[in-house]
Amino acid sequence: MKDKKVREELIIDAFAMLFLLAGELYFFRNIIGTGQLISDGSDGRLTMLIAEHWYNVFKGKASIMDMGMFYPAKNTLAYSDMLLGFGLIHSVLRVVGLDIFRAYKYTIMLVHLTGTVSSYYLLHRKLNLCAGWSVFGTVMFSFSSTYAVHIYHTQLVSLSLIPLAAVFVISFYNNLKNRKKRNVYAFLFIITAEIILYTAWYIFFFTVFFVLGVIITGIILNVVNDCGLWDKTKDFFKTVKYDFVIYVAALIIIALPFLIMEMSIIKMSSGREYSEVCYYLPEMIDVINVSSKNWLMGGLLTKMKLDARGFSFENAAGFSPVLLATFIGFYIFVKKDRKNSWIKTIWITVVLGIFLTVRLSKDGLSLWWFIYKFFPGGSSIRAGVRYLLYLCLPMAA
């Protein structure tokens, strides 16, 4: 009986994977088998050259810090995202014979595919959703219109590594009593987190920002409702003991080269004016602005002439009406799950994140000013609208 149930589960997972693979092929339908790059403009070409730089480094033909395209300038790697994670995959594809263009294009597609598969696994196996809802949540994340707009900045595809990191965190928590397994998952999470850091600063920043939001919201809810969070926290630290210190030390030590190389550049880029940041902050209407090219809402958005406002094209990267309706409707109507402290915490954190990101008036009034002014590294984030892309994942989950 047990074997039969396992077979049924495997068959369901196989059909789910085939459906999601078809989604990948459709999502990249204009790229696969063509000479076109993902983002054929300046950003796509720059990130491709940075990935190629790592290939030359691994071959011993280039210094890590000095990218040949900026010769004779020195220490130029830190002038942009380092893209180490992409560089590793890109280099493997270059070794097996792909040219620079195809290697980078398929690197982005492989990272995106990793996010799709790990998102389904996270929802189905770790959060115990049925296969249908797991596929739905994965589609809402990996194939969202928000993702389609932001993929122009290929470094942001490192967002697809977040579901994998979440799998490692939950597996760590599920194996707290087994020190050997616990340490394996802790190590895997640390490596994944550091790869994200060394690949795309925005995604790492948004991850830290979101996690802190979850922690603060959770503490407040615990004080109000007494969800037992304090007791759970004490039990956690009692179990992991000194290992937690080792985890934190490992994270810091591995991140030190990044901090040394990047902090001076981040500080330099922090000199931008808030008016420049405002250009990339969405208005409230942009939360549903999925661009005039969207099949479902494109005609209505075209009539609203939102493109005439003079803001960045990235502001047309709102949430799909299906995702928004599900996200709001779920919390309103599914009362038994609304009492779950974790669901409530993440739901509130997402809503607050949306209100933090949007501009409240045309002259730039926004709560994001506090992030720009006071949050460490916040003034280096020029395009706050990209936080909406990040929020697609917790919304879908």
Sequential pLDDT tens for the chain (397 residues): 678 888 999 999 999 999 999 999 999 998 888 878 887 666 778 899 999 999 999 999 998 988 877 778 787 888 889 999 999 999 999 999 999 999 999 999 999 999 999 999 999 999 999 999 999 999 999 999 899 988 989 999 999 999 999 999 999 999 999 999 999 999 999 999 999 999 999 999 999 999 999 999 988 888 877 666 777 888 888 899 899 999 999 999 999 988 887 766 666 555 678 888 888 999 999 999 988 888 888 888 888 888 777 777 788 889 988 899 999 988 887 766 666 778 888 999 999 999 999 998 877 789 999 999 999 889 889 899 999 999 999 998 8
For position 227, what pLDDT does the model report?
A: 65
Question: Angle at which helices 229-240 and 201-225 pack, to 10 degrees?
Answer: 120
Q: Which residues contact 135 (CB under 8 A, 6 or more apart)?
A: 16, 19, 20, 120
| Alpha-carbon span 202 to 384, nearest angstrom | 9
For position 34, what pLDDT does the model report?
A: 82
Side chain identity, residue 166: A
| Alpha-carbon span 222 to 342, nearest angstrom | 11
